[in-house]
Structure 1
Amino acid sequence: MLVLLPPSETKADGGDGRCLDLDALSFPTLNPVRRKLADALVDLAQDVPASLSALDLSPRQVGEVERNARLWSSPTTPALLRYTGVLYDALDAPSLTGAQRERARERLAVASALFGVVRAGDAIPAYRLSGGSTVPGLGSLRSVWRPVLEPVLAEVDDLVVDLRSGPYAALARVPGAITVRVVTEDAHGRRKTVSHHNKAHKGRLAAALATTASEPADVDDVVAAAAAAGLRCEQTGKTALEIVTEA
């Protein structure tokens, strides 16, 4: 099973790993695009105003530009520890046991505007680039990634559970993947998509899928793993699930 997580805009600083080594990352056929994007970000960082504009940042976020300037020289840490925020707080990777951490490394991957997709244990630096960005000289990330990322994800033989957010799902389609929507249900049974608790519930689901001793192989297994974690998860289509919360 491969669980595709969305990244986060916020990322942890530092790390104790060596500087970025593309050859050490999973999905090595993506490396030419990774290198092109990394070099473009480093070059762009030499012009702070242009970086702030292209990355849709405020002057207060100039530190994000400085991160990009150091892409090739800053320390790395595993992707599952690099990304922070609500989803990753709910996933709570630091609390995993050794056996659970090993399962997570095998089962979890993170969508990335810079790297396309990386597995949980891949060592990456802090950076700033969003899925909806347009890199000067390269165009939209959708146009950059889709031709190379879609074939790579299509080669994944395992069950794919796609938890990516819209801008990252747009970088590459994954036909046949299980998709998950978080909804609220009112007293009359009416449901609507929610955003406030969306990331937290997806983080809890990711944790359940990553750590269950028996690896899920189909939709029913995903629903069962969610239920074991205390989530109300229902199948609404052949490959569509909803996590249902109270309004």
Structure 2
Amino acid sequence: MIVLLPPSETKRPGGDGAPLDLAALSFPALTPLRSELVEELVRLAADRPASRAALGISAKQDDEIGRNAALRGAATLPAIDRYTGVLYDALDIGSLRGAAAARARARLAVGSALFGLLRADDPVPAYRLSAGSKLPGRPGLATRWRPLLEPVLADIAARELVVDLRSGAYAGLGRVPGAVGVDVLCQHADGRRTVVSHFNKAHKGRLARALAASRAEPDDAAKVAGVARRAGLHVERDGAHLTVVVPES
């Protein structure tokens, strides 16, 4: 089983790994576009106004442009340690030990606008590029990634069950045939259900932790739902789609 996570806008700075080596990353079929995008971001960083427009950031976030300028020489961290924020706090991979930690690092993968797809331990620098970023004079990232990324995802899905926790924009970079999809809904006292916004990420992080660390080897949506329920989540299943239902607080 592979649990496919979204990335995060926020990333842990620094690192103690060697500088970025694209040839050392998993899924070498993605290397050509990774190389193009790194080159484009480094060049773009020389023009701060253009960078702000392309990346959708303000002048207060110019340190993000500096990260892109330093992409080739900056220290790296394993991808699963690089990304931060609500989902990754709930996942809390650093608290796992022994066999559970090893299973998690083998099962977790991250979708990325810059790298396409990363295994948990792939070493990457901090950077700024989102699925919706518009690089000057270039097609959208989904248009560029799909021809390379979808065959890689299809190959993974042919061998392992994929639980896709990516948000819509990142799922649009490459679809996964037969993947288990997940939504998070809030159950109100009057019976209404509404989309959970901010805490959607926290509940997906809890689900990712349960799946990544479990001794079970689920091979279909029903078994994924079983792992989630044993972890205390209220999950409903409709075919290959799961809904995590959260009571109104």
TM score, norm. by length of structure 2: 0.96
Q: What residue number does 2:43 align with?
A: 43
Q: Deviations over 1:154-192 (max 9, x none)?
A: 111200100000110111111211000000112343322
Structure 1 unaligned residues grouped into runs of 5+: none
Q: How many residues align?
A: 246
Q: Which amino acid aligns with 2:247?
A: E
2:18 counterpart residue number: 18
Which residue matches 2:90?
90
Q: Which amino acid aligns with 2:161?
A: L
Q: Match of 1:167? A: 169
Q: 1:227 aligns with which of 220, 229, 236?
A: 229
Amino acid at match of 1:72: R
Amino acid at match of 1:65: I
Moved more, 61-70 or 94-103: 94-103
Deviation at 1:94, TM superposition (A): 1.0
Query: Within 2, Cα distance between the matches of 1:136 and 1:143?
Result: 14
RMSD: 1.0
Q: Which residue type is aligned with residue 130 of structure 2?
A: S
Deviation at 1:196, TM superposition (A): 2.5
The amino acid across from 2:218 in the alignment is: P
Q: Give 1:49-128 correspondences, 5 Å limit.
A: 49-128=49-128
Q: Distance in 2 between matches of 1:226 and 1:201?
A: 11
> 1:149-164 counterparts in 2 under 5 A?
149-156=149-156, 157-164=159-166
**Residue ranges of structure 2 left out of the alignment (5+ in a row):** none
**Counterpart in 2 of 1:240?**
241
Q: Counterpart of 1:139 in 2: which secondary structure?
A: coil
2:5–2:166 CA contact under 8 A, matched in 1? yes
Distance in 2 (CA, whole Å) between partners of 1:81 and 1:100 is 16
| TM-score computed with the length of structure 1 as normaliser | 0.97
CA contact 2:216–2:227 (8 Å) conserved in 1 = no
